[in-house]
Structure formats: structure tokens, C-alpha cells
Homo-oligomer: A and B are copies of this chain.
Amino acid sequence: MIGLDPGLRKTGWGIIEVEGSRLIHVANGIVHSDASCSLAERLVQLYDGLTSVIADWEPHSAAVEETFVNKNPTSTLKLGQARGVVLLVPAMAGIPVAEYTPNHIKKSVVGSGHAAKEQVHAMIGVLLPGVKVNGEDAGDALSVAICHAHNGGGHRSLHSTMSKKKNPLEEALNAPPGAQIIVPGRRQR
């Protein structure tokens, strides 16, 4: 599956696979657009870059963070335009696209909806052993992919993407804040 973190200048992408209750990192990166080009041209750059990522890795499902609408309407519009293209590309390839709120993603990855960004990024290294994250946006995209995996997105049908079935890792991670979280491969303190 592919996780996507939309942005006009940089759109992060991260691909993982689910093997039983284990997550495996496949690839991650960033699609850039050239700020010296027109808006329409930049959207084509995002479209082409993401289309080629999807052609290369053939994910069978996709997830995008539900955008936090900030107070600056110009930024919101700009982000919206990039997000429109980012949602479009997997859908054009026939891949179902799920959306998750930022809090849901944090809760899925760290176990608390109010975790700091640093905690989320640290957990990516724990959940995807050996991962080399190519920048913050690619890390954000991987966290969306992890959240999607924990919510059944690893299964190959649209139906199961929607299912509420939890895997053991998700149950551990969704424990209330302060609970001891046991993650395979991580030493207990």
C-alpha cells in the first residue's frame, strides 16, 4: 500500500507491505514541483511523478492524510490544489483511496492522538526496521501508510479496507496513553 502526504512543493510517498502482523518497508521518497513554473505546470509535475511511482511499485491501496485546514486561506487553497491531484492519481489507476485524520494517524502509529511529530517519526523506525526515510514528507507519508495497514488497508479488497478488524500490533498501539506498548523487536524498558 502507498501512503501520501500532499504538498504543492513536495509530496511525500511511502510504500509498505503487510506480512501477517509484520510491516515491511518497500520504498519512500518525495515528488517535487518546480516553484519557477506555473501552477498548472507544477500540478502536471506532481501528477507525472506520482503516476510513475505508482507504475513502479504497483500498490493495491492508497491512503492520504485528511488535511488540517489552517487559518491561512491562501495556503489552504494551494494545499487543496495539490491534494486534488494527489487523490486523483491513485484513483485513476483504479486503487481505492482512504483518508485518515491526523489524530487517527498519530494514534495508530504511536498510540496517542496527541503525540509529537518526533515520536511519530521515531516509531516509524521501530515499526519498519531498517528504513531509511528520505525527508520529513516521506516520513509523514510512511506514517499514513502504517495507519492504513493498522486499519485493514493491507488486504486486497476494497471491502476489507473498510473493515474494523484489528491486528495484534494495532491493538497494542491503540492502547491508552501511558500504557506499556510492546512492539516486536523493541526492548522493553
A residues lining the B interface (CB < 8 Å): 38-41, 43-44, 47, 67, 69-71, 73-74, 76-85, 87-88, 90-92, 97, 99
Please indicate which of the listed interface residues A71, A79, A90 has the most CB atoms of chain B within 10 Å of its own CB. A79
Q: Find out whether the CB atom of A44 lies under 8 angstroms from the CB atom of B92.
A: yes
**A44, B87: Cα distance in complex, Å:** 9
Contact of A47 among B38, B82, B88 (CB under 8 A): B88
**A67, B39: Cα distance in complex, Å:** 13
Copy number in the complex reads: 2
**A67, B43: Cα distance in complex, Å:** 16
**How far apart are A62's CB and chain B's nearest CB, in angstroms?**
8
Chain B contacts of A47 at CB under 8 A? 88, 92
Which residue in chain B gives the minimum CB-CB distance to A80?
A: B80
**A107, B77: Cα distance in complex, Å:** 24
Question: Which 5 A/B pairs are nearest by Cβ-Cβ distance?
Answer: A80-B80, A84-B84, A81-B84, A69-B73, A40-B91
Contact of A39 among B69, B78, B82, B87 (CB under 8 A): B87
Q: Could you write out 13 A-B pairs with CB less than 8 Å apart?
A: A38-B97, A40-B87, A40-B88, A40-B90, A40-B91, A40-B97, A43-B84, A73-B73, A76-B76, A77-B77, A80-B80, A83-B84, A85-B88
**A117, B154: Cα distance in complex, Å:** 50
Chain B contacts of A79 at CB under 8 A? 77, 80
Chain B contacts of A92 at CB under 8 A? 44, 47
Chain B contacts of A70 at CB under 8 A? 73
Chain B contacts of A80 at CB under 8 A? 76-81, 83-84
Please indicate which of the listed interface residues A43, A79, A99 has the most CB atoms of chain B within 10 Å of its own CB. A43
